[in-house]
Amino acid sequence: MPRFAFYHLVNVLNRNRKRPCLLTLLIISLLTTIIIDIIFINSIQTFLYPFESLSCYRIENLNTFPDISQINPREGKTIFFHETSCKSHTEGKTILSSRQACAVESAAKSNPHFDVFVLFTSPGVFINNNTQSDRSIKALLTYPNIKFLHVNYNNYTEGTPVGNLYKSGKIETSYYAISHASDVLRYLTLWKYGGIYLDLDVIVMRSLEGLHSNYAGAESDDNVAAGVMNFASDGLGHFLAEECLLDLSEHFTGYDWGYNGPGVITR
């Protein structure tokens, strides 16, 4: 065999032998990257939204604000805010940020004939250590129409369309547990009592008293926001609130931030 032909044959064999090796290395590299990404994403999700982020919901018999079950909100004259983190329990006293306090105060000042309820899922009491949060809360408590109340999440959802959803643990194991707990709670509160729900970053500039019932804010041309809502306690409003709860009960999704809030009212 001529020398050049021998070299050519060797080169062909080497090329054919290398191709499977390169393909194998490529597949291994791709799989390794995917596995690392999955582990990294799950680690970040677990760090940002841990299972225990709602652990205070299961605490019983702690000194805290009066429970909402002890009062009877006035029909058509109520504004609700929800604070669904466990920050107040973690800090050992009730906590509100300056932005949250500003939202509550704006609602109370603009609507003096409405009762403004701030509902805490975390146990906690007001202790004045003269922090910024303490000073804000102290100022809020001077308004006669602002009331701080506690919500026992288990009792609150018991016997409702979302009772089994909470018992299933899906809310607690959600990637966005605090946010999704708030999503469920806002629809449930309006189903129970009717009235107005506002997010704790909504600033009220004028009275809401003249608005008709059963409305929600527009987020875009295609989506309805869940940060401002009003449902009547009966009729169409109660029907809409129940439809939202039934949607949550059947289609709650823990890995999508907006699916259980604006997604529900939009659908």
Tens digit of pLDDT for each residue in 11-38? Answer: 544 555 545 566 666 677 777 766 665 5
DSSP 181-217: HHHHHHHHHHHHH-EEEE-TTPPP-S--TTSPSSEEE
Residues 155 and 32 in one domain: no
Q: What residues in the chain have per-residue pLDDT under 50?
A: 1-2, 4-10, 12-13, 18, 42, 45-46, 49
Q: Which residues contact 267 (CB under 8 A, 6 or more apart)?
A: 247
Residues 161 and 105 in one domain: yes
What confidence score (pLDDT) does residue 33 get? 67
What confidence score (pLDDT) does residue 7 get? 45
**Into how many domains does the chain fold?**
2
Residues 260 and 155 in one domain: yes
Q: CB atoms < 10 A from the CB of 243, how many?
A: 16
Residues 117 and 16 in one domain: no
Residues 96 and 188 in one domain: yes
Residues 23 and 61 in one domain: no
Domain region containing 39: 1-48
Residues 44 and 105 in one domain: no
Residues 98 and 26 in one domain: no
What confidence score (pLDDT) does residue 152 get? 93
What confidence score (pLDDT) does residue 134 get? 93
What confidence score (pLDDT) does residue 232 get? 93
Looking up residue 191, the CATH number of its domain turns out to be: 3.90.550.20
How many Cα atoms are found within 13 Å in the side-chain-facing hemisphere of 210?
A: 3
- Relative to beta strand 215-218, strand 224-231 is antiparallel
Residues 138 and 112 in one domain: yes
Residues 191 and 147 in one domain: yes
User: How much is the pTM?
Assistant: 0.79
Instruction: Report helix, strand and coil shares of the chain as percent, to nearest 5.
Output: 50, 15, 35
